Amino acid sequence: MLTGRIADAGIMTLTGLFVPLITPFDETGAVALDALSALARRTLDDGATGLVALGTTGEPGALTGDERRAVLDTVAGVCRERSAPLLVGANSPAELRALADLPAVTAALTLVPPFLRPGEAGVLAHFARLAALSPVPLVAYHVPHRTGQPLSADALRRLAATPGVVGVKHAVGGIDPTTVALLADPPPDFALLGGDDLVLPALLALGAHGGIVASAHLATARFAELVEAWRAGDAARARPLGHRLATLAAALFAEPNPTVVKAVLHAHGRIPTPDVRLPLLPAAAGSRAAALRALDAADGPVAIPPDTADWTFVIDRGCDECGFTPPPAETTGARLRATVPHWRAALARPDAGRRPAPTVWSPVEYACHVRDTCRIFRQRLELMLDEDDPTFADWDQDAAAVAGNYHHQSPGTVAGQLAAEAEATAAAFDAVRPDQWERPGRRSNGSLFTVRRFAVYFLHDVLHHAHDVTR
């Protein structure tokens, strides 16, 4: 039985996926706390078990004391709100004592002493001293290619027997004999967490309890699925997924961490800038592009079969599926505006970015489609009002979803974009004069609309997809 905060939280052994959060910076170079909070929430929403604050991925050495405390308070607030485990990078007695007033902290992630190479006995004595004075349990961070201090399987077992040491982030750079021996007979009530993203799938296959995985800022749900699959013994599901995620991890670590991770998060609109602080330099454009391609391969959505149905019947008959009854075209603007709160609520849900089934769009994908539909139909309306019987240019909605990267868009960002496009389109329909409702326009296949019928057809599309995200 474990003691301290882990036992208080009802956790016998730390298991699952832990994401060591980056520290985002804004355009002025300041820590972007709002972006950090949003990142923490989405990471948990997407399936992470817990978070790590002020790990090496968070560039703690480049932060001021006030910045470190602000980061810690922000992430601790999210974990407290979500009842999620929180590990905090803390390596000295002072850093550990500072955690005493933060009940959200589950354990400290504490580095094996670097550079000194004190020997195994020195490492064990060091952790015994820190554990005795720490207000929280310790998870040792064993990364010998950086610290210069190897540890044998016997030393790791003695470390596991040290009171107050509850786990290890095992990052030895591969699968060595020590790793195999340790996982073949793991110490009881001691968390063995993979710390090398590239070999995480192999560590999980050997029996690791989970991982502390910087790459899981991206494809978080897939990494969580990988951990769960190996814990369940589902090798058929885990192996191909592990191969894809290992390729992603290699791309994200092509340059010093977290430079590529930040570049990809910024490309997806999830943090204000991709900036890092010296001595790190921003990732090269080629590394970012390669990581984005790897992400699409690892976490890209399953292609959705095209909808080839002709929905023009709803203009006259309505739609039994969503309950749409054709309204007067003159009410289009007001009815469109009335959908905006519904979309904001759908995009504020924790599952806004998650597909309910592999071939069904997530709420954010539907919202991106509605946003773009508003823009396209407003442009077509302008054509019908300005030209005589114009033919609309083709719009491939499925291709637009791929090109627009709908699957990876930020729900909060899309909510604002959709509201703006809906208002502009509502205003355009409000401005239609009585003598303009019968003006014609046609699709490229020859289907003829009047402005009146076009308005009803458009409104059904928006309302039907609002129905889709409530099912």
Q: Does the pLDDT of residue 140 top 50, yes or no? A: yes
- The CATH architecture assigned to 311-468 reads Up-down Bundle (1.20)
Q: What is the mean pLDDT of residues 333-344?
A: 97
Q: What is the mean pLDDT of residues 7-34?
A: 86
Tell which wins on pLDDT, 265 or 359: 265
Q: What is the mean pLDDT of residues 124-130?
A: 98
Summary mean pLDDT of the chain: 93
The conformational region for residue 29 under phi > 0 = left, psi -120 to 50 = alpha, else beta, is left
> Which of 166, 204, 135 lies closest to 11, judged by CA?
166
Question: In terms of residues, how long is the chain?
Answer: 471
Helix (H) or strand (E) holding 16, with range, is strand 16-20
Helix (H) or strand (E) holding 203, with range, is helix 200-206
Q: What is the distance between the alpha carbons of residues 30 and 165, in angstroms, rounded to a whole number?
A: 35
Q: Does the pLDDT of residue 7 top 90, yes or no? A: no
- Which tokens hold the place of 466? 């609002």
Main-chain dihedrals φ then ψ at residue 89, nearest 5 degrees: -65, 120
Residue 137: partners with Cβ closer than 8 Å, 6 or more residues away: 2, 3, 4, 5, 6, 106, 107, 108, 131, 164, 165, 166
How confident is residue 304, by pLDDT bands cut at 50, 70 and 90?
confident
Q: What is the distance between the alpha carbons of residues 30 and 36, in angstroms, rounded to a whole number?
A: 12
Question: How big is the CA angle at 439 (ends 435 and 442), to the nearest 5 degrees?
Answer: 165
> Which of 408, 455, 419 lies closest to 346, judged by CA?
419
With 0-12 / 13-18 / 19 or more C-beta atoms within 10 angstroms meaning exposed / middle / buried, residue 61 is exposed
- Check if CATH label 3.20.20.70 holds for domain 5-299: yes
Domain map of the chain by residue range?
5-299, 311-468
Neighbours of 125 (CB within 10 A): 13
Mapping DSSP to helix (H, G, I), strand (E, B) and coil, where does residue 202 land?
Answer: helix
50-53/440-442 β-pairing: unpaired
pLDDT at res. 356? 83
Q: What is the distance between the alpha carbons of residues 442 and 380, in angstroms, rounded to a whole number?
A: 10
pLDDT at res. 214? 98
Q: What is the mean pLDDT of residues 353-368?
A: 88
Q: What is the mean pLDDT of residues 369-385?
A: 97
> Which of 228, 220, 227, 216 lies closest to 350, judged by CA?
220
**DSSP E strand stretches across 21-133:** 50-53, 86-89, 107-111
Quote the crossing angle between the two packed helices 363-386 and 411-430, to the nearest 10°.
20
Instruction: Indicate which residues carry an active-site annotation.
Output: 141, 169
Q: Does the pLDDT of residue 26 top 60, yes or no? A: yes
What are 393-447's pLDDT values in tens digits? 999 988 888 888 888 788 989 999 999 999 999 999 999 999 999 999 999 888 8
Mapping DSSP to helix (H, G, I), strand (E, B) and coil, where does residue 286 land?
Answer: helix
133 close to 99: Cβ distance less than 8 angstroms:
no
Cα(first)–Cα(last) distance of the chain, in Å? 43
How confident is residue 327, by pLDDT bands cut at 50, 70 and 90?
very high
What are 51-96's pLDDT values in tens digits? 999 999 999 999 999 999 999 999 999 999 999 999 999 999 999 9
pLDDT at res. 302? 65
With 0-12 / 13-18 / 19 or more C-beta atoms within 10 angstroms meaning exposed / middle / buried, residue 78 is buried
Q: What is the mean pLDDT of residues 172-192?
A: 94
